[in-house]
Amino acid sequence: MCNKYLLTGILVGLLLTAAASAQVNADWQKANGGWIVVKNSHIYNTGGPFIPCPGQTDCMGYPVHVEHGVCIDAVTFDDPSVGSSWTPPDNGIILAKDCGANEWMDVDCPVVTEFWVPAGTYTLTEFTYVSEVNPGDPGYSPCTNAWSRAPRTVVIKPGDVVDFGETVFMEGPCTVGGYPCSDGPLGSTSGSSVGRADLGGNWKMGGPYNAGRPCQIIQQGNTLTFINENGDRSAGEFTDSATVVATDWEGGLSGAVSAEGDRIDWANKTWWVR
């Protein structure tokens, strides 16, 4: 009986300690920075037809997958010591993917992404990334593009919340392919981009079956989207300069990138070439 009460007391103590630690962290964040908030109410594989960029051709106009995001193009920290210990978002992008029953995630709408940033002066670019959803045509690589608004300077003071809302838009400057964010200092400080290959573009299934069928990789910094010969998509990333992983396939399908960057040998014994 004594042991039971002792264990209960220990658990309660641990919970109180964790709660106190979380509150201290929240107070520190509020005193040293603010939050950038991005939302997305779009339902995966709805809407459309896909709107191509000017000059973008051979698109089918299928329903779409939409992501609402903000690029952190540049920042001057109010307190460099706080900025130097901060972990920025991957590739300087704060992103809210679309919601509902889809291959990315099952979540309530809207999807809300809140990201803490140190106090400072930021250059931010809001964008909408759009991709057709292939209904299953093995010979078709979906069209993708991103629509962006003009960069703006935002001063974030301690406790501020900068909310970009949940509006997605398909107007303004249009970029064919991946996200419109530049490879700025935020991407390079993370170290994730050093030595990586440029894999973005059209690929083909090499074998041992469906050889020659088109595949595609969309690349933005360390972030990858794979589209296989059946039109199935997977999020992915580099795990090192010569290895990628398709996180939505087979519990995390890894692939070895050749030194020339023109072949990926997947762990399931298939391969892609270009």
Indicate whether 253 pLDDT > 90.
Answer: yes
* 132 and 237 housed in the same domain: no
Does 81 map to a domain? yes
Domain that holds residue 110: 32-190
d(C-alpha 104, C-alpha 102), whole Å: 6
Residue 10's pLDDT band (cuts 50, 70, 90):
low
Residue that has been written with the tokens 């964790």 in this structure: 18
Residue 136 confidence (pLDDT): 84
Task: Determine the average pLDDT of the residues in 72-77.
Answer: 88
The distance between the two most distant Cα atoms of the chain, rounded to a whole number of Å, is 76
* 76 and 171 housed in the same domain: yes
pTM over 0.75, yes/no: no
Does 250 map to a domain? yes
Task: Determine the average pLDDT of the residues in 104-119.
Answer: 83
Residue 38 confidence (pLDDT): 97
* 222 and 232 housed in the same domain: yes
* 69 and 168 housed in the same domain: yes
Indicate whether 101 pLDDT > 70.
Answer: no
* 172 and 237 housed in the same domain: no
Domain boundary among 190, 220, 236: 190
Tens-digit pLDDT profile for residues 263-272: 999 999 999 9
Does 91 map to a domain? yes
* 46 and 91 housed in the same domain: yes
Domain boundary among 175, 190, 205: 190
Cα torsion 91, 97, 102, 108: sign: positive
Does 16 map to a domain? no
Indicate whether 26 pLDDT > 80.
Answer: yes
Residue 119's pLDDT band (cuts 50, 70, 90):
very high
